Amino acid sequence: MKKRSFKQYFITGLLVWLPMGITVWVLMWLVGMLDAIFLAVLHAADTLIPGVHASAEYLRSVPGLGVAIVALVIFATGVFVANMFGQWALRKWHGLMNRIPVVRTIYTSVKQVADTLFSGSGHAFSKALLVQYPRQGSWTIAFLTGTPGGEVARHLDQPMVSVYVPTTPNPTSGFFLMMPKADVVELEMSVDDALKYIISMGVIVPGTPVSKSSATQAQLG
């Protein structure tokens, strides 16, 4: 058996702990965000309603209560708006938000994006594409978000597609581009595989039976 160096042992241990650590960090971030929403609601209730200070302080001290309550409220909201009365109340709410200056612009923009992203019938992020960016000869992965429309489409002289080019390793930021349809290569890989490819900066190659980390562990063994 060949002698292992300190560096080889360290890399082997890192390959074990790094995925677990990042997973825990993401989960803690989500829990913290939900808890922050719950604490903000408690603070508002404590400020507006006299006599609830003691109850608010007790609820703040219960671990995980904010996550459970926020998740329950989201689920209950979905159940509520699934019936006829809920749809009527939702239309009234949308009408109210659309009548408030400044708020109307932000609310409608966010709602349109959310409806597009989470609608099962939408085409946003439904396909992974290969595009040349930021210059000819340099290729990167992008996601189809639709086709240009309205006034923008009238100024375009050829069929175009709207694409989102994510940054790596954080795909939540990126660039919106309109590109000629003829210059876009549609990939057979799923959107999930494409995201893994981007987040890993090309280390995890879709369709490869043995990942880079497994191959490294095999070499170290």
Lowest mean pLDDT among 15-19, 94-98, 179-183, 210-214: 210-214
- Is omega for the bond preceding 169 within 30 degrees of 0, making it cis? yes
The predicted structure's pLDDT at residue 213? 42
The predicted structure's pLDDT at residue 4? 63
Choose between 77 and 126: higher pLDDT.
77
pTM of the model: 0.53
Amino acid in the structure at residue 162: S
3-state helix, strand, coil in the chain (%, to 5): 55, 15, 30
Q: pLDDT, tens digit, for every residue of 142-162?
A: 999 888 888 888 888 899 999
User: What percentage of the chain has pLDDT greater than the value 70?
Assistant: 82
Q: pLDDT, tens digit, for every residue of 186-218?
A: 998 888 888 888 888 888 777 655 444 444 443
Q: Is the pLDDT of residue 140 over 90?
A: yes
Q: Is the pLDDT of residue 121 over 60?
A: no
The predicted structure's pLDDT at residue 187? 92
**Residue whose C-alpha is closest to residue 141's, from 128, 157, 158:** 128
Average pLDDT over residues 172-190: 90
